[in-house]
Structure 1
Amino acid sequence: MEHLLQSVDWDGVKVILAVADRQSFRQAAQDLGRSVNTLRGIVDRLEDQFGFPVFNRHVDGAKLTVEGRRVVSAARLVERSMMDLMRVAQSASDTMKGPVRLAVTEGIGTFWIVPQLVDFLAGPGRDIQVTLQCALQAVDVLRLEADISIQTAEPTAFDVVKHKIGCVHMTLFAGRAYAERHGLPTTLAELADHRIIEQEMDQFTGYGLDRIYTPEIAERIVALRTNFASAHYWAIAKGAGIGMLPNYAAAIGGDLVPLDLGLRIPVDLWLAVHPEMVKTARHRAVVEWLDTCFSAETYPWFGDRYMAPEEIEAFLRGSTKLKGYFSGFTPLNPMAEPLPIDKLEQL
């Protein structure tokens, strides 16, 4: 047994834990950024070492054997011990120097966090090294998948430090090119005759069109699905169809026209951080900075009240603080000019 423990590949044990969590080699491979065949090979070698199968492979996934459940239970204890060791090491130095791993949804990370991160890192006395992970699914800060997470699902772990940081209000937009070619719907019933661009990912699971229409209609009208927020944004802005975007989306620079059909989806944003991490100065500084990034006082569209895109446009035009905030994403002006009256009358 001692020889076996010395020869165990602990990276391979992490693979076993990932497959056990997802009950799928394919899903675990996506999470770990490795190929399915690589994960299968790693698990096969460990099973040879153990002398018994850890998983029963099925068409619908991978299920733990009885022995596999014992392996995973023991591995969890080792994993927690290693995390405790890492937390002690990371919290030992209460300075503004060192790494901070921040996980955030891809769209908010790209279009909202990064522009403000530049100024934050340039602040006096800061030598923080930020790793920004644009996650497609919620991460587990207790397992140190990230130090700090901004996610759309409320963390459920008892000892995680968490608070609601803001709310993103999703509403319908069309690209100006689409509006000029196909016209715009004025009711949800008319929307069923248009092309829909839908975003689907673990943290945002689509628009629920099958509940608005029939499942058959919902499937027919979706022209494009994507799990990537920036691809979703540009597909709409370039005229591929109508889709839901944050109510401040027109400020980013795409030539967008908002549609008020009463279809809105509020998405709460939660900040989660490991209780040990908030003991370091650099992590506290990042948490405080993130709170300012989503302050409803400064950026009212992140408040609980829905703010229409036209209100946001007027707010931004009168703001000196946010003037040019989104410059550089596109060569367009921060907010697109409205369609000419003669064009509107033709729609």
Structure 2
Amino acid sequence: MKNELPPGPSPSWDDFRFFVATSTAGSFSKAASDMGVTQPTISRHIENLEHRLSVRLFDRLPNGVALTSEGESILNAARHIESTVFEIQRNVHGSDRRMEGTVRISVTDGLATFWLTPQLGRLQERHPGITIEFQCSIEPADPLKMETDLSIRSGKPQAADLIIVKLGTIHFVPWASADYIARHGAPDTPEELLRHRLVDHSIYYKDEGNWNDWFALARAANLISYMTNSSASMLSAIQSGIGIGMLPTYAGVCVEGIVPLSLDLRTNSEIWLTFHPRIQSTARVRAVIDWIRSLFDHGASPWFRDEFHPPKTPPARSRPVATAS
């Protein structure tokens, strides 16, 4: 007797794609967040796949989902399908010689907003047919899964199948607005930060190993007066005089209304560009790669050298420190 599928349309690639994502995420809600869709969308595709295959793929648990034995047996085949689809897409992209179309860049909102976007005009003047799509998020999109074309992230990537290019090092120092300094003074030592309001970014907690000095002070007296997961929002808070925050040294050439503080407190993070080997032969992607690398030229932009280069804006003059209230 033949094993036949129930009547109706065959499972779609999206069904398998969301199945793989859910198995990786461990819950429908996490898979939906990772894939940029709603939880009902994930549930609908999983239920459709289960119906079409006549098997239960996941056990629904109070805190997520777990693969059934049938789901585990299907997962490898689904990943093979996923890998084949990605390979087809990369082959198509790699043979594209047109200097037009969209190039997706996964990057943090800070770099996209304050460094890449202001200099995008240079690329558009030279290649007006290229559209740049910035995918701004804390979690990087995966070039191997064709979630993005190029990824710019801190920390050296570990994926063996990707090309990785070190763009440089971002150095962070404390900044404040002139208005804040006029009202509260500028601290002369890291210890004096204990008497000031602080502005913070939630991503710093994820990179705690690079921020030990900052957190040792900030956590000592519950100093955080403003927390956000957006670099643009964090900068706005500092410009508005809400408090002192750590920003890149390159802020001195692209941001107004803030000044760096003369404190023996700084940290750094390496910045890496990653992409799949085959996609670099796509003409428009190659052009964007060259443009990105030019923006981090260590001669024209010394703030991205491995060694610390001070911010361009002169440090603020210190005033008597007043207790923030």
TM-score (norm 2): 0.86
Q: Which of 173, 185, 188 lines up with 1:186 in the alignment?
A: 188
Give the RMSD, CA atoms, in angstroms.
2.8
- 174-183 or 232-241, which deviates more: 174-183
- Structure 1 letter corresponding to 2:216: I
The 1:133/1:262 distance shift into structure 2, 3 A limit, reads: same
- 187-196 or 275-284, which deviates more: 187-196
**Counterparts of 1:281 and 1:53 in 2: how far apart (Å)?**
45
- Give the equivalent residue in structure 2 for 1:260: 262
- Structure 1 letter corresponding to 2:256: G
Q: Is the 8 A contact 1:95 1:281 kept in 2?
A: yes
How big is each residue's C-alpha offset from its partner over 1:13-70, in whole Å with a ceiling of 9 and x where there is no partner?
Answer: 2222222222233332222222234323433343344444333444544333333222
The 1:192/1:254 distance shift into structure 2, 3 A limit, reads: same
- Give the equivalent residue in structure 1 for 2:297: 295
Q: Is the 8 A contact 2:260 2:313 kept in 1?
A: no
- Give the equivalent residue in structure 2 for 1:148: 150
Q: Which of 40, 43, 49 lines up with 2:43 in the alignment?
A: 40
Q: What's the CA shift for 1:288?
A: 1.3
- Structure 2 letter corresponding to 1:81: T
The 1:51/1:203 distance shift into structure 2, 3 A limit, reads: farther
- Give the equivalent residue in structure 1 for 2:140: 138
Q: Which has the higher contact order (CA 8 A, sep 6+)?
A: 2
**Counterparts of 1:24 and 1:212 in 2: how far apart (Å)?**
35
**Counterparts of 2:256 and 2:214 in 1: how far apart (Å)?**
28
Q: What's the CA shift for 1:204?
A: 5.6
**Counterparts of 1:214 and 1:174 in 2: how far apart (Å)?**
15
- 44-53 or 131-140, which deviates more: 44-53
1:313 matched to 2:307? The reply is no
1:212 matched to 2:216? The reply is yes
Q: What's the CA shift for 1:80?
A: 0.8
Q: Is the 8 A contact 2:184 2:321 kept in 1?
A: no
Gaps of 5+ in 2: none
- Give the equivalent residue in structure 2 for 1:122: 125
The 1:35/1:298 distance shift into structure 2, 3 A limit, reads: same
How big is each residue's C-alpha offset from its partner over 1:101-154, in whole Å with a ceiling of 9 and x where there is no partner?
Answer: 22222111111111222221111x652232222232122111111111111132
1:3 matched to 2:16? The reply is no
Q: Is the 8 A contact 1:153 1:269 kept in 2?
A: yes
Q: Is the 8 A contact 2:106 2:134 kept in 1?
A: yes
Q: What's the CA shift for 1:234?
A: 0.8
Q: What's the CA shift for 1:169?
A: 0.7
Gaps of 5+ in 1: 315-337
Q: Is the 8 A contact 1:137 1:202 kept in 2?
A: no
- Structure 1 letter corresponding to 2:122: D
Secondary structure in 2 matching 1:3: coil
**Counterparts of 1:171 and 1:153 in 2: how far apart (Å)?**
18
Q: What's the CA shift for 1:156?
A: 1.4
Secondary structure in 2 matching 1:156: coil
**Counterparts of 2:213 and 2:20 in 1: how far apart (Å)?**
35
- Give the equivalent residue in structure 2 for 1:334: none
**Counterparts of 2:33 and 2:286 in 1: how far apart (Å)?**
31
Q: Is the 8 A contact 1:173 1:259 kept in 2?
A: yes
Q: Which of 227, 242, 251 lines up with 2:253 in the alignment?
A: 251
1:55 matched to 2:58? The reply is yes
How big is each residue's C-alpha offset from its partner over 1:327-346, in whole Å with a ceiling of 9 and x where there is no partner?
Answer: xxxxxxxxxxx76x7x8357
Within-5 A mapping of 1:94-133:
94-123=97-126, 127-133=129-135
How big is each residue's C-alpha offset from its partner over 1:231-288, in whole Å with a ceiling of 9 and x where there is no partner?
Answer: 1111111111111111122433332132233221211110111110112222222111
**Counterparts of 1:55 and 1:202 in 2: how far apart (Å)?**
35
- Structure 2 letter corresponding to 1:53: R
TM-score (norm 1): 0.81
The 1:156/1:2 distance shift into structure 2, 3 A limit, reads: farther
- Give the equivalent residue in structure 2 for 1:335: none
**Counterparts of 1:90 and 1:203 in 2: how far apart (Å)?**
37
Q: Is the 8 A contact 2:11 2:48 kept in 1?
A: no
The 1:133/1:307 distance shift into structure 2, 3 A limit, reads: same
Q: Which of 75, 90, 98 lines up with 1:72 in the alignment?
A: 75
The percentage of aligned residue pairs carrying the same residue is 32
Q: Is the 8 A contact 1:153 1:203 kept in 2?
A: no
Q: Is the 8 A contact 2:180 2:243 kept in 1?
A: yes
Q: How many residues align?
A: 317
Q: Is the 8 A contact 1:99 1:129 kept in 2?
A: yes
- Structure 2 letter corresponding to 1:166: G
The 1:214/1:241 distance shift into structure 2, 3 A limit, reads: closer
